């Protein structure tokens, strides 16, 4: 039987390609498709739950719901002086929340809903966006994009 290090390498991976791995459960070398590996390493990739909010006044507050990765689309009717985004109350480790906003918010507050917040923006421009990711060990949401 060939060792993994003896296999031919490639410079490009395509959909449907298979990858060898050692299965601790079966005690044997097996293979998995790129889709299986993708879902293992990032189980919700491309499956964000979309949440919409259309604030009608300055001082708005929108809470992101659920334990899935979320994409919050804010469409305020105008640019506002202040507003807040409240993160989910009971996030899972590595959970992501992406926020897009069609109008500017001069003073933006991102609340951790009892969890820490690191690097959140304090303002957002029209058509701006940011992404936060939760780390369970530190109990903190970190800005990652």
Domain with CATH 2.60.120 in the chain: 49-143
pLDDT band with cut points at 50, 70 and 90 for residue 36 = low
pLDDT band with cut points at 50, 70 and 90 for residue 38 = low
Q: What is the predicted pLDDT for the residue at 7?
A: 73
Mean pLDDT, all residues of the chain: 87
Please answer whether residues 68 and 47 qualify as being in contact, where contact means their C-beta atoms are separated by less than 8 angstroms: yes
CATH code given to domain 49-143? 2.60.120
Please answer whether residues 98 and 51 qualify as being in contact, where contact means their C-beta atoms are separated by less than 8 angstroms: no
Pairwise pLDDT comparison (75 vs 25), residue with the higher score? 75
Please answer whether residues 70 and 62 qualify as being in contact, where contact means their C-beta atoms are separated by less than 8 angstroms: no
**Cα 93 to Cα 134: distance, rounded to the nearest angstrom:** 6
pLDDT band with cut points at 50, 70 and 90 for residue 27 = confident
Phi, psi values for residue 16, rounded to 5°: 90, -10
pLDDT band with cut points at 50, 70 and 90 for residue 31 = confident
Stretch among 22-26, 54-58, 128-132 having the lowest mean pLDDT:
22-26
Instruction: Please determine, for residue 37, whether its predicted confidence score (pLDDT) is greater than 90.
Output: no
């Amino acid at each position: 039987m060939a060792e993994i290090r003896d296999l031919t390498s490639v410079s490009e991976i395509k959909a449907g390609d298979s990858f060898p791995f050692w299965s601790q459960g079966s005690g044997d070398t097996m293979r998995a498709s790129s889709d299986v590996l993708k879902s293992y390493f990032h189980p919700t990739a491309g499956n964000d739950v979309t949440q919409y909010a259309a604030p009608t006044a300055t001082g708005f507050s929108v809470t992101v719901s659920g334990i899935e990765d979320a994409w919050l689309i804010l469409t305020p009717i105008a640019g506002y002086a202040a507003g807040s985004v409240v993160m989910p109350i009971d996030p899972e480790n590595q959970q992501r929340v992406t926020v897009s906003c069609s109008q500017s918010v001069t003073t933006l507050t991102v609340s951790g809903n009892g969890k820490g917040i690191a690097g959140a923006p304090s303002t957002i421009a029209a058509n701006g966006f940011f992404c936060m990711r939760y780390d369970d060990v530190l109990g903190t949401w970190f800005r990652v994009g």
